[in-house]
Structure 1
Amino acid sequence: MHVTATRKLPVLVLAGMVVGSMVGAGVFSLPGTFAGATGAIGAIAAWAIAGAGMLTLVFVFQRLAVRKPALDSGIYAYAKAGFGDYVGFFSAFGYWASGCAGNVTYWVLIGSTIGALFPAFGAGNTVLAVAVSTVGVWGFFLLIRRGVPQAAFINTIVAVAKVVPLVVFLVIVVAIGFNWNTFTLNLWGTGSPDLSSLFGQIQQTMLLTVFVFLGVEGASVYSRYAKNRRDVGRATLLGFLSVLCLFVLITVLSFGVAPRAEIGGMREPSVASVLQAVVGPWGYTLISVGLVVSVLGAYLSWTLMASEVLFTTARNEDAPRFLAAVSKRNVPVAALVLTTLLVQALLVVTLFSENAFQFMLSLCSSLALIPYVLTAGYALKLETRAGDDPGGRSRRGLTVAIIATIYTLFLIVAAGPGYLLLTFIIYAPGTLLFVAARRERGLRVFRPYEAVLCVVAVLLAVAAIVALAAGWITI
């Protein structure tokens, strides 16, 4: 639901929105995904890199919220201010599409969880699983269409409810399931100390770390509703550090429960499978219930956030006017419809994927990388541009912006060309919305450099389609 302009949210509610946005499907796949790629040493190194890198992004959002209080809606506004209208739209559209792809992972994971009891659901991407997920997608549409009162506060309550089973998991693993000898055998992904292959192992986990950290900017998306602009930064930092500790503990402690190869081959959600290995079937059931609460809460949060991004883009005249329409209950209904339609389309795509959860996770992460790079780039531009608020610049701000920019560029390299290329199949058609918005307002569609960017995006989309048809890229 589009939050009313008069509603002002305190820091704890904003922090709850960050936690609610971040604790979703990804956390329940941490043990299996990490164990399939590396050992405990590699996992710790990966979280150190990801945590430090994402922390610089948190500081970037923190500084931008204070230095540029007039820029609302976070990622979209920063990209537009730094690099122009088309790039701003590109960032907003990519972030929106990333949220939609992330929402699909939620339904796939629910289907996979049910599949443990009813094999017809398979890994969450069978015809029956997609059909049931479709009912859920449009059920949420109708719920949000009617208006979800106190949506931000509901999300805070759900954030607490979803964390409880994960805390129970940690307590049980530490008290009963953790074995030091097992843990030491799982230290290295190769079975013996091998620093030469460690980077490759870490690289395999990078897209997952991006995926689980998506939502760290949740407070900035709703920044105009904060009681105090500085609360945006405080809420982001508080939510980030809380969730980072949770992610690290779940990943690392799981290596003390069973051999790495066994954990890596566990059925998703692997958190439930790990707990089942410790206490039996009731552990799988407990985590499964927590997963459903977590995923449905995250789905609500991300649907609201994605719709808000499209709505704000239209309100700022970078998307067609129809996307700025709201219902009598103040719901951005047109943006909500488009969000639901993309989720539905991506659900159908999962029918043709060999590993639907991993595919959507990687696609979601890759779509978010360009908006993150643009945000870090804008912060770097502010810190180095002579004519922009020289009194607000600092060495610390410059250092943070440099590290954040390097880290986000590193993520693009680590993601590999395949998924990044696929994102342009979504990015390129989105340009039609920008063109329609410019023509509605009688404005010049592209500046010269924007026209070049548009041509590049279309060419990359064509290349991705050819690569898919030729089998060079698989889903």
Structure 2
Amino acid sequence: MTSDQDFGTAIDPSYGTETEKQTLSVWALTALVVGSMVGAGIFTLPSAFGRATGVVGGLIAWAIAGVGMLMLAFVFQNLAQRKPELDSGVFIYAKAGFGNYIGFLAALAFWASTCVGNVSYFVLIKSTLGTFFPVFGDGNTVQAVAVSSVIIWLFHFMILRGVQQATGLNTIVTIAKIVPILVFLFILLFAFNPEVFMANLLGGEGYSEPLWQQVRNTMLVTVFVFIGIEGASIYSRYAEKRSDVGVATVLGFVGVLCLLILVTMLPFGLLPRAELAELRNPSMAGALEVVVGRWGNIFVSIGLIISVLGAYLAWTLFAAEVPFMAAKNNLMPNFLNHENAQKVPSRSLWMTNIVVQSFLIVTLFAQNAFTLALELTSAMSLIPYLLVAAFALKLALTRETYETEPSGRNRELVISIVAVLYSILMLVAGGLEKLLLAALILVPGTVLFFLSRREQGLRVFGFWELVLFTVTAIAAITALVGLISGQISI
């Protein structure tokens, strides 16, 4: 199952079949890559870019994101081939390269990002319904949280009974999200106004931020829609030829990048930037309504709700898998290494949904709940991404696994360097505030690592691990003080 925090659908080509192994052509692999990357986050891009930047800043942001995320995709692909025995999740690379506590932090950050991302599902659904039922507001009213909570626990008990994602659901979800996007792009091509587009070129009327600031404003948004890029390498075992995996990764990635660019750029030819920024989420629905009327909003909204609810089932299953696999690898307490009679990691699922419920309650106090969830999800996901890229860089520098095949080392060294630099750039561009909030989650979560080490009768921290924990704890205290004093707002 892929880890697509941009709310794409996790697809297992072999699910529901009786064949021992299914082989897929390069085009089938490409379709799987596209299907796993395109999710509900794309429906929010017009207003997200309207708030952040003009046309030129947006194009520069996509160029940076395109290069950086493609390098990360290649990192995952290379590691899958060089370290095939490390197949327990993203965090296992961090553990192998940098020790137990950093491996734990990677697992915790990745799991927390899935939990916050799941909250984004509900905020987006209720914001969509808020267009038709004002009681739901922007997805963060008491009524919205109450209804979302009911859905969380309905899904929870369904999953506990062994309800898994079916192939038919995948098909419905894929159609539900792709058709509205294609209709949106087709209609906006005909409604495109070059004069409005040129007025938005450098930032738009009433905006005076420098270009570099506009680009920076978009950084976490671009990370958010590409989270899950590591899923491309998961399909390698289904390829007819090993070389097809690289081709499918590039084709699928370029296809999705073109789709994202069109979804963000065409609305700049429809409305002034200030009006784009004010569109409520899902902003794609609002933009289409400007052109064709109310039916456009309803059409996109129905597609989004079906897509999000379908993908939420798959993502909840995956989220519960992370603590379960971490416990199997002795990074979290053994009580999480438990499956019920239906082979569902039940204790991990309980912990996951309790945390999701807690984050959902926090949205009641957030000024812009979806934006907060988006940026925090991106920042948390970048931590394990950075560690994975650093592990690939370490392998290339030490020449480990390159003894018998040194020819690819220089290429993979460059790829890993770019991936590391990109991950650091995104964390810095996202702002210190998001890293401090991330620390506020990681420090209390370290109690799981403490319990795990005590169970094994091992020393909790080595010297450098203690230094890292101390720095993270100081960051968490700083975040707490900032929230209390109002210097950090959510």
Where on the TM-score scale, by shorter chain, does this alignment land: which range? over 0.9
8 Å Cα contact 2:82/2:401 also seen in 1: no
Matched, 1:427 2:446: no
The Cα of 1:247 is off from its aligned counterpart by 1.0
Counterpart selection for 1:327 from 327, 340, 347: 340
Corresponding residue SS for 2:210: helix
Aligned residue type for 1:265: E
Quick one: distance in 2 between partners of 1:308 and 1:228? 28
Indicate the larger mover: 75-84 or 303-312. Answer: 303-312
Aligned residue type for 2:40: A
8 Å Cα contact 1:65/1:233 also seen in 2: no
Identify the residue that residue 187 of structure 1 maps to in structure 2: 201
8 Å Cα contact 2:176/2:304 also seen in 1: no
Counterpart selection for 1:91 from 100, 106, 121: 106
Aligned residue type for 1:419: K
Identify the residue that residue 166 of structure 1 maps to in structure 2: 181
Identify the residue that residue 452 of structure 1 maps to in structure 2: 467
Aligned residue type for 2:47: G
Corresponding residue SS for 2:229: coil
The Cα of 1:159 is off from its aligned counterpart by 2.7
Quick one: distance in 1 between partners of 2:54 and 2:255? 23
Identify the residue that residue 108 of structure 1 maps to in structure 2: 123
Identity of aligned residues (%): 51
Aligned residue type for 1:185: A
Q: In structure 2, do the counterparts of structure 1 residues 315 and 160 end up closer, same or farther at CA, with 3 Å as the change threshold?
A: farther
Quick one: distance in 1 between partners of 2:328 and 2:467? 26
The Cα of 1:288 is off from its aligned counterpart by 0.2
Q: In structure 2, do the counterparts of structure 1 residues 458 and 112 end up closer, same or farther at CA, with 3 Å as the change threshold?
A: same
Matched, 1:73 2:73: no
Q: In structure 2, do the counterparts of structure 1 residues 203 and 229 end up closer, same or farther at CA, with 3 Å as the change threshold?
A: farther
Counterpart selection for 1:203 from 216, 219, 241: 216
8 Å Cα contact 1:41/1:188 also seen in 2: yes
Aligned residue type for 1:356: A
Identify the residue that residue 410 of structure 1 maps to in structure 2: 425
Quick one: distance in 2 between partners of 1:8 and 1:408? 35
Quick one: distance in 2 between partners of 1:306 and 1:141? 12
Aligned residue type for 2:90: I
Counterpart selection for 2:378 from 348, 365, 369: 365
Aligned residue type for 1:122: G
Aligned residue type for 2:379: S
Q: In structure 2, do the counterparts of structure 1 residues 474 and 171 end up closer, same or farther at CA, with 3 Å as the change threshold?
A: same
TM-score by length of 1: 0.92
Matched, 1:399 2:398: no
Aligned residue type for 2:129: I
Indicate the larger mover: 204-213 or 431-440. Answer: 431-440
Q: In structure 2, do the counterparts of structure 1 residues 193 and 283 end up closer, same or farther at CA, with 3 Å as the change threshold?
A: closer
The Cα of 1:347 is off from its aligned counterpart by 0.2
Quick one: distance in 2 between partners of 1:323 and 1:219? 28
Aligned residue type for 2:347: A
The Cα of 1:327 is off from its aligned counterpart by 1.7
Corresponding residue SS for 1:394: helix
Matched, 1:130 2:132: no
Question: How many aligned residue pairs are there?
Answer: 472
Q: In structure 2, do the counterparts of structure 1 residues 415 and 90 end up closer, same or farther at CA, with 3 Å as the change threshold?
A: same
The Cα of 1:468 is off from its aligned counterpart by 0.7
Indicate the larger mover: 185-194 or 455-464. Answer: 185-194
The Cα of 1:155 is off from its aligned counterpart by 3.6
8 Å Cα contact 1:178/1:257 also seen in 2: yes
Identify the residue that residue 348 of structure 1 maps to in structure 2: 361
Quick one: distance in 2 between partners of 1:114 and 1:121? 7
The Cα of 1:223 is off from its aligned counterpart by 7.0
Quick one: distance in 2 between partners of 1:158 and 1:445? 44
Return 5+ residue gaps in structure 1 as ranges. Answer: none
Identify the residue that residue 47 of structure 1 maps to in structure 2: 62
Aligned residue type for 1:183: F
Aligned residue type for 1:367: M
Identify the residue that residue 6 of structure 2 maps to in structure 1: none
Matched, 1:337 2:350: yes
Q: Deviations over 1:113-146 (max 9, x none)?
A: 1111111111110000000110111111122222
The Cα of 1:14 is off from its aligned counterpart by 7.2
Quick one: distance in 2 between partners of 1:197 and 1:189? 9
Corresponding residue SS for 1:69: coil
Aligned residue type for 2:326: T
Identify the residue that residue 282 of structure 1 maps to in structure 2: 295
Aligned residue type for 1:272: A
Quick one: distance in 1 between partners of 2:436 and 2:254? 32
Return 5+ residue gaps in structure 2 as ranges. Answer: 3-11
Q: Deviations over 1:194-221 (max 9, x none)?
A: 9x8111101001111111111112355x
Q: Deviations over 1:221-244 (max 9, x none)?
A: x67975789577666545433322
Identify the residue that residue 156 of structure 2 maps to in structure 1: 141
Matches within 5 A, 1:184-333: 184-191=198-205, 197-219=210-232, 230=242, 236-333=249-346
8 Å Cα contact 1:101/1:363 also seen in 2: yes
Identify the residue that residue 38 of structure 2 maps to in structure 1: 23
How big is the alpha-carbon RMSD for the aligned residues of Structure 1 and Structure 2? 2.7
Aligned residue type for 2:324: F
The Cα of 1:63 is off from its aligned counterpart by 0.7
TM-score by length of 2: 0.89
8 Å Cα contact 2:90/2:384 also seen in 1: yes
